[in-house]
Amino acid sequence: MQSYIKSLTSFILLLLAIALSILIVYSSVFTDLNDLVTTYNKNVKLNSISNFNSFLSEEKLSSKFASNSYIFSPIDYKLNLINYQNQITLKNSKRLQKKEDTSYNINNYLNINNNETTLLSALNQSNIIPATNYLRENATILMLVRNWELPSALASIRTLEDRFNKNYNYPWTFLNDEPFTQEFIDATSLATSGETQYGIIPQVDWNIPHWINLTKFEQNINDSIHNNIIYGFSKSYRNMCKFNSGYFMRQELLQNYEWYFRVEPDVNYFCNFNYDPFKLMKNLNKKYGFIVSIYDYQNTIPTLWDTTMEFFTTGNNSNYLAKDNSYKFLTDNSLIGTSVTVQTNSTSDYNLCHFWSNFEIANLNFFRSKPYQEFFNYLNQKGGFYYERWGDAPVHSIAVGLLLNKSEIHHFDDIGYYHPPFNSCPSSNILRLVKNCQCNVNDENNIDTKPHSCLSKWWKFGGGKYFMQYDSNQ
């Protein structure tokens, strides 16, 4: 009997011990959860995996809640905590839900336990990070480039990845008239956050068309050398200008894309983007985006404008003109403001203002459209890419200016940009601070403040600063 009581007591004690252990484990889980919820109420900002892991250890939370696959933005984190409350098996939880909205409120950022040395960095808009499975636009970053330009291409990739793409991972497309070397492919694919693809341009899209009179072409090369015309000596430069005017959008690798962001070797972006420029273009119904606008060299395009007018007065082509086009921006010669203006030596109505096309964010469907393609084919047949030295920048600009409404053209005045030899630095001090811009607005190479910038014309006659469009005499 005694031994029976003894074993019954031990059995009861064992049961109690088991119950107690279950209670302890259970409550510790809830403590963790409560801690998380409490901490959440303190408005934690976590924006990287390492932040998250150190957050867990500092708050003495179970490491089983750590994740290797999440990138946290404030909004993601909120979603995640909701998950925490609802499901205990967090370690198996899936990636965050699709989250496109990266806006946030300044007041959401407070330090944990008021300790500034904890995981929180100072408030900085540049830390906006979209969710891992962010829904990108159908867009690619595009670079036409030669193998020997690899170091310069890498420099451009570095700055654009840093300022924009590292958070968005848009794919890069590299085009070349020759096969890319393995060295080029290896280095660029490792430097980019998005996928990369490499295209060889078909010879017919690149080389001199069969209808070009080679004697006349050689004559122009010689004249251009004699007259010191910029890049006038180079045959490949003319192929490049023709290609960038009318063939880039026809390349096979671009067929499935709607948007492109043109990048050249050795450029620099001065500010954090803080938003997805492709989404901006789409949401605001824009088709073409630029940063710099300047006067072109008359001696490279003596007959481009007249040929353009010929095209628009042929058949029904005038129907292609947009209702609210930028004709005035392209032709105005008045003095704006009190500053000195350059005396262009234009021999036509064109004032030589063009968008600097080494930076472009634009819609491929526009450049693939019938009006643009017909316009380009007309120009190409006339041979001005070879008998003169027409650049792709004035060709794009005239087409964009006449075929699109002003409201479809966007001036990216908040990014800051450098392509030798000019730069453009946002003029707003607060914007430069918030977007971590690294540029000097007073730099002598800041083209925007120089007489040969066309920006004031864009502000007055294009889609820019509306206060300049008010004319008290009207």
Ligand X SMILES: Nc1nc2c(ncn2[C@@H]2O[C@H](COP(=O)(O)OP(=O)(O)OP(=O)(O)O)[C@@H](O)[C@H]2O)c(=O)[nH]1
- Dist CA 193 CA 190 (whole Å): 8
Select 264 or 360, whichever has its Cβ closest to Mg ion: 264
Q: Is 240 in the site for ligand X (CB under 6 A)?
A: yes
Stretch that binds ligand X, among 26-34, 232-240, 379-387, 423-431 (CB under 6 A): 232-240
- Dist CA 128 CA 274 (whole Å): 7
- Dist CA 89 CA 156 (whole Å): 44
Minimum distance from residue 436 beta carbon to ligand X (Å)? 26
Q: Is 358 in the site for ligand X (CB under 6 A)?
A: yes
Number of H helices, E strands in the chain: 17, 12
Q: Which of 284, 295, 306, 301 is nearest to 406 (CA)?
A: 284
Fill in the per-residue mask, 249 to 268: x = in contact with ligand X (CB under 6 A), - = not in contact.
---------------xx---
Binder to ligand X among 35, 58, 177, 258 (CB under 6 A)? Answer: 177
Q: Which of residues 423-452 bind ligand X (CB under 6 A)?
A: none
The CA-based angle 44-56-129, given to 5 degrees, is 45
Q: Which of 208, 196, 73 is nearest to 145 (CA)?
A: 196
Binder to ligand X among 71, 75, 120, 145 (CB under 6 A)? Answer: 145
| Residue 426 preceded by cis peptide, ω within 30 | no
Select 357 or 446, whichever has its Cβ closest to ligand X: 357
- Dist CA 78 CA 285 (whole Å): 32
Minimum distance from residue 60 beta carbon to ligand X (Å)? 54
Binder to ligand X among 32, 76, 137, 149 (CB under 6 A)? Answer: 149
Minimum distance from residue 244 beta carbon to ligand X (Å)? 7
CB 141 within 8 A of CB 260: yes
- Dist CA 183 CA 193 (whole Å): 18
Select 358 or 363, whichever has its Cβ closest to Mg ion: 358
Please give the structure tokens belonging to residue 315: 């058949």
Phi, psi of 289 (to 5 degrees): -125, 140
Residue 458 CB neighbours (<10 A): 22
Q: Which spans of this chain sit near Mg ion (rule: CB under 5 A)? A: 264, 358
CB proximity list for 75: less than 8 A, separation 6 or greater:
99, 101, 102, 104, 131
Minimum distance from residue 241 beta carbon to ligand X (Å)? 8
Give the total of residues touching ligand X (CB under 6 A). Answer: 13
Minimum distance from residue 240 beta carbon to ligand X (Å)? 4
Whole-angstrom CA distances from 372 to 120, 314, 401, 405 are 50, 15, 11, 14
Stretch that binds ligand X, among 15-23, 144-152, 270-278, 461-469 (CB under 6 A): 144-152
Select 358 or 380, whichever has its Cβ closest to Mg ion: 358
By beta-carbon distance, which residue lies closest to ligand X? 236
Select 65 or 356, whichever has its Cβ closest to ligand X: 356
For this structure, is 58 an active site residue?
A: no
Stretch that binds ligand X, among 99-107, 215-223, 233-241, 430-438 (CB under 6 A): 233-241
Question: 144 touches which of Mg ion, ligand X, none (CB within 5 to 8 A by kind)?
Answer: ligand X
CB proximity list for 2: less than 8 A, separation 6 or greater:
none
Whole-angstrom CA distances from 69 to 50, 72, 129, 417 are 11, 10, 14, 34
Stretch that binds ligand X, among 52-60, 68-76, 93-101, 235-243 (CB under 6 A): 235-243
Select 450 or 465, whichever has its Cβ closest to ligand X: 450
Binder to ligand X among 179, 202, 420, 451 (CB under 6 A)? Answer: 420
Q: Is 144 in the site for ligand X (CB under 6 A)?
A: yes
Fill in the per-residue mask, 301 to 340: x = in contact with ligand X (CB under 6 A), - = not in contact.
----------------------------------------
- In the set 149, 161, 264, 360, the catalytic residue is 360
Residue 295's SS3 state is: strand
Give me the residues that bind ligand X (CB under 6 A), please: 144-146, 149, 176-177, 236-237, 240, 264-265, 358, 420
Tell me which residues are annotated as active site.
360
